[in-house]
């Protein structure tokens, strides 16, 4: 694959595995085994079966007729919001739990910010009867209390991270400490296309089911495999990578990645990584991240918890740098309006993350024959309080 990872774990200038020596055995074990395991026919059969009968795949490709009229093109929603647990995150969680089983791991750890990845991880651990510990910042636990309850209901232990800013990055530090202390029996399920190699490639492969299905479904809808445009929101970048994956080599397909501008890219309250960021190392890989001139990570902000991340996965950094995909950003206000519009024009309440991708439609010019696919990464149930408060209902 032209845009895929090379044998050293890099996408152009980005990627690699910048990890403390004490983590080396864990990451090296994964690196040596992940491709053999996930290419094994037994693995594939079990993965496909669970995606079909547990997650509910294939997720529909829905032709949004009122949107198509409004925007003057054929607009399709890839309905990841209909997956079990409400977003694309379950695709990766299923893949990694099956991998962990084959590596003989008896215990799973994860970090979570908003709690969506924590819930997906707790879900697959319940499914497999494997112990699950989720690290979560103390502040996030208070902000996202319903997801803490969900994880507990599913049998997971939620451990508060009470150092630093008590948010995602502190939870990540705690999870890494745990992994260093338990290298033999524990697998660390990372929730996006971030982290040291091989995680970005592994997670992208598990999420690539999104574009694999989309190609087939487009043939049914339009008679053609390729759309003119593909859009997705980017936090760490896993739903976008899954949505782009099988279109990367089809250079005529325009790929659009939508980041969260928060209160505006120049407001000091933003998560627009490609606009504000510089090259550096974050969570084990060389990528683009928001940082101060002396290299401290800048606290990101977005109204959507899932896009509130100071970096992007290394493959995105590469696609950005070589201009294979267009990186844009959408403010809180634009996203919230788009979420309301989708609810009232299509009867679908999208996650605020996905609403960022929808908002980008307002800024584009289409030809009437264009086919446009948007990844609806998740459903908005988790965001109802935020929507209601925002619109003052
Ligand atoms: C977590 C999340 C995202 C952002 O994560 P990516 O890795 O960038 O996909 C987007 N949408 C939803 C619904 C999420 O839960």
The CA 294 to ligand 1 mean position distance, Å, reads 29
Mean pLDDT of the chain: 96
**What is d(CA 74, CA 318) in angstroms, rounded to the nearest whole number?**
29
Q: Give catalytic residues, as residue numbers.
A: 89, 111, 377
For residues 106 and 131, the answer to whether their CB atoms sit within 8 Å is yes
CB atoms within 10 A of CB 2: 7
Paired residues of 77 in beta bridges = 62, 374
Q: Say if ligand 1 is within 6 A of residue 378 CB.
A: yes
pLDDT at position 143 is: 82
pLDDT, tens digit (0-9, with 9 covering 90-100), for 266-321: 999 999 999 999 999 999 999 999 999 999 999 899 999 899 899 999 999 999 99
Residue 350: predicted pLDDT: 98
234-247: average pLDDT: 98
- Which atom of ligand 1 is least distant from the CA of 237? 8
Instruction: Kindly state if the Cβ of 239 falls inside 6 Å of ligand 1.
Output: yes
Q: Do residues 95 and 366 lie in contact, with contact meaning Cβ atoms separated by under 8 Å?
A: no
> Does the beta carbon of 89 lie inside 6 Å of ligand 1?
yes
**Which residue, 276, 253, 250, is CA-closest to 263?**
276
Torsions phi, psi of 329, nearest 5?
-140, 155
* Spatial distance between the Cα atoms of 156 and 184, rounded to a whole number of angstroms: 20
**176-213: per-residue pLDDT in tens?**
999 999 999 999 999 999 999 999 999 999 999 999 99
User: What Rg do the C-alpha atoms of the chain give, in angstroms?
Assistant: 19
Nearest CA to ligand 1 atom 5: 235
User: Could you state, in order of their start, the residue ranges of all structural domains in the chain?
Assistant: 17-50+89-203, 56-87+208-391
Residue nearest to atom 7 of ligand 1 (CA): 238
Beta bridge partners of 133: 109, 157
- The protein residue with its alpha carbon nearest to ligand 1, atom 14, reads 306
Evaluate: CB of 353 within 6 angstroms of ligand 1: yes
Q: Given this model, what pLDDT does residue 169 score?
A: 83
114 pLDDT exceeds 90?
A: no
* Structure token pair of residue 105: 């791991």
Q: Residue 5's pLDDT is what? A: 98
Q: Let me know: does 99 contact 37? Beta carbons within 8 Å.
A: yes
Please give the pLDDT value at position 27.
97
Tell the residue nearest (CA) to atom 1 of ligand 1.
Answer: 306
Q: Is the CB of 111 under 6 A from ligand 1?
A: no
Judge if the beta carbon of residue 351 lies within 6 A of ligand 1: yes
On whether the CB atoms of residues 38 and 102 are closer than 8 A, the answer is no
pLDDT in the model for residue 363: 98
Topology agreement, domain 17-50+89-203 and domain 56-87+208-391: yes
Work out which ligand 1 atom sits closest to the CA atom of 87. Answer: 13
Predicted local confidence at residue 28, as pLDDT: 97
- Segment 20-35 mean pLDDT: 96
At residue 19, does pLDDT exceed 90? yes
Domain 56-87+208-391 in CATH 3.40.50.1100? The answer is yes
For residue 239, how far is its CA from the centre of ligand 1 (angstroms)?
6
Is the bond preceding 364 in cis, omega lying within 30 degrees of 0? no
- At 167 the pLDDT is 84
pLDDT digits (tens, 9 = 90+) for 36-68: 999 999 999 999 999 999 999 999 999 999 999
Q: Is 379 in the pocket of ligand 1 (CB under 6 A)?
A: no
* Residue 354 DSSP class: H
CA of 351 to the centre of ligand 1 (A): 9
pLDDT digits over 72-88, tens only? Answer: 999 999 999 999 999 99
Mean pLDDT, residues 315-331 taken together: 98
Question: What tokens appear for 323 in the block?
Answer: 């201009």
Evaluate: CB of 233 within 6 angstroms of ligand 1: yes
Quick check: 144 pLDDT over 90? no
User: Among 37-41, 106-110, 141-145, which is the least confidently predicted range?
Assistant: 141-145
Higher pLDDT pick, 2 / 76: 76
Choosing from 144, 238, 309, 325 the residue with most ligand 1 atoms within 8 A of its CB, the one to mutate for a pocket test is 238
Residue range 17-50+89-203 forms a domain whose CATH class is alpha beta
Q: What is the mean pLDDT of residues 168-183?
A: 92
pTM above threshold 0.95: yes
Q: Is 207 in the pocket of ligand 1 (CB under 6 A)?
A: no
Ligand 1 centroid, distance to 81 Cα (angstroms) = 11
Q: Give the pLDDT score at 1.
A: 79
Could you read off the pLDDT of 338-352 as tens digits, one per residue?
999 999 999 999 999
Please report where in the chains the tokens 């201009």 appear, as a residue: 323
- Across the range 322-335, mean pLDDT stands at 98
Ligand 1 centroid, distance to 21 Cα (angstroms): 30
> Closest residue (by CA) to atom 2 of ligand 1?
306
Among protein residues, the one with the nearest Cα to ligand 1's atom 3 is: 306
């Amino acid at each position: 694959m032209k845009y895929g990872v090379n044998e050293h774990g890099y996408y152009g200038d980005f990627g690699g595995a910048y990890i403390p020596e004490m983590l080396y055995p864990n990451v090296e074990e994964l690196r040596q085994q992940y491709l053999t395991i996930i290419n094994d026919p037994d693995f594939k059969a079990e993965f496909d079966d669970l995606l079909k009968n547990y997650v509910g795949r294939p997720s529909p490709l829905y032709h949004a007729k009122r949107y198509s009229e409004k925007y003057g093109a054929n607009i399709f929603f890839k309905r990841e919001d209909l997956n079990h647990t409400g977003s694309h995150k379950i695709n990766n969680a299923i893949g990694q739990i099956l991998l962990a089983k084959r590596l003989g791991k008896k215990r799973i750890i994860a970090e979570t910010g908003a709690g969506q990845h924590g819930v997906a991880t707790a879900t697959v651990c319940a499914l497999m009867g494997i112990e699950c510990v989720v690290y979560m910042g103390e502040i996030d636990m208070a902000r996202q209390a319903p997801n803490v309850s969900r994880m507990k209901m599913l049998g997971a232990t939620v451990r508060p991270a009470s150092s630093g800013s008590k948010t995602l990055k502190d939870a990540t530090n705690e999870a890494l400490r745990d992994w260093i202390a338990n290298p033999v029996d524990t697998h660390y399920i990372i929730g996006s296309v971030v982290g040291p190699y091989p995680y970005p490639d592994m997670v992208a492969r598990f999420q690539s089911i999104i574009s694999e299905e989309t190609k087939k479904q487009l043939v049914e809808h339009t008679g053609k495999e390729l759309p003119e445009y593909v859009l997705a929101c980017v936090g760490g970048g896993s739903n976008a990578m899954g949505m782009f994956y099988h279109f990367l080599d089809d250079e005529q397909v325009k790929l659009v990645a939508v980041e969260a501008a928060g209160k505006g890219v120049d407001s000091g309250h933003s998560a627009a990584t490609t606009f504000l960021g510089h090259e550096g190392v974050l969570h084990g890989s060389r990528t683009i991240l928001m940082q101060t001139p002396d290299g401290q990570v800048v606290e990101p902000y977005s109204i959507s918890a899932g896009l509130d991340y100071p970096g992007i996965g290394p493959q995105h950094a590469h696609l950005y740098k070589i201009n294979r995909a267009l990186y844009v950003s959408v403010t809180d206000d634009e996203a919230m309006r788009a979420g309301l519009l989708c609810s009232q024009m299509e009867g679908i309440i999208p996650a605020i993350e996905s609403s960022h991708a929808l908002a980008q439609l307002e800024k584009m010019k289409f030809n009437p024959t264009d086919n446009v696919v948007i990844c609806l990464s998740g459903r908005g149930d988790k965001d109802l309080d935020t929507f209601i408060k925002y619109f003052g209902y």
